[in-house]
Homo-oligomer: A and B are copies of this chain.
Amino acid sequence: MAKKTVLPDARVSPRFAGVATFCRFPLPEQVAPENAPADWAVYGAPFDGGVTYRPGARFGPRAVREASQYVKPHHLEHGVTLTETLSIVDAGDAPVAPYSCRETQDLIAQWAAEGRPGCDESTKMLAVGGDHSIALANMRAAWRRHGSPAGGLAVIHFDSHIDTVDTIWGETHQHGSVFRRAFEEGVADPTRMVSIGIKGPLNRADDLNFAIDAGVRIITHTDWRADGPDRLRDFLSEIAAARAYISFDIDAVDPAYAPGTGTPSVGGFTSAEALTILRSLAGVNVVGADVVEVLPDRDPAGVTALLAAHIVFEILCLDAVRRAGS
């Protein structure tokens, strides 16, 4: 029988009340034995020392926690109730080393792979950033927990930027190199990776070449309008058996919907498009995920954090759909 997630009683504690956890999920120590170990742990990765432009995403986890209070548990389009299907915790924030991206990646990866109250190594980890550099840490943890000897994780990557640069300002570990490092470490498999929403302008004509040469399927924002859904469908059938990781950089969405991010890129998806694409992933075996680059100080109306909270929900529901279907 499915484990469940017990939310606060809204008759006592309305959605505007209480210490804010992701989607009002319980803290690990609050999980009842029958719901342990949790199926998913959502946690914060409050680090922004890997950015190349505007910092501030270290405050992303708190903003998403706050905005997620109004996320309700039943997914209308999938017809599944998240909290009736999965046991989910808010595992708090991972440790960080604010002055070192590399050290932070190591700290988070180790912390995310460790057991904790209410969780064990079967628990899947969803990281809320922080800048995109923290994805490397969470992919490592996902691979350590759920990877297969056959190779790195399949990756479904939403972004305006390809993030496969080698070095920036002499540094190999920052938010622009996260997938290149993941390929090198073997935690991600470029031949089973798709990057959705890539758009220009670029620094140089060859900025995408490394990823293309490595086998990454790129569906630019422009491609999406032409034949993106078909291409994505083909990709998904190819990786049907794979363990997949979803990495969602909020700047894949247009600045009108997600102004609160460090390197906004105009001309992106609407929220409705982003949710639709996410819903089309139903069936994928998601073993880890991240939602990154939410920068609250540039989000005066709170719409970015609200969207990010719903993307967290959509990703978790993908697993709920799969379990409900099995």
Contacts and interface: CB of A to CB of B under 8 A. Distances in A.
A234 to B, nearest CB: 22
11 contacts: A13-B95, A17-B58, A19-B93, A29-B29, A55-B55, A74-B207, A255-B257, A266-B307, A267-B276, A267-B310, A297-B298
Nearest to A204: B74
B297 A56 contact: yes
A6 interface: no
Nearest to A90: B19
Given A58-B55, A201-B73, A18 B92 contact: yes
Given A53-B70, A54-B59, A299-B301, 8 more contacts: A18-B93, A74-B201, A255-B303, A256-B270, A256-B271, A267-B275, A268-B272, A297-B297
A195 to B, nearest CB: 13
Nearest to A297: B297
Of all A-B residue pairs in the complex, the 7 with the closest CB atoms, nearest first, are A76-B200, A259-B301, A55-B55, A297-B297, A72-B201, A74-B202, A17-B93
A326 interface: no
A71 interface: yes
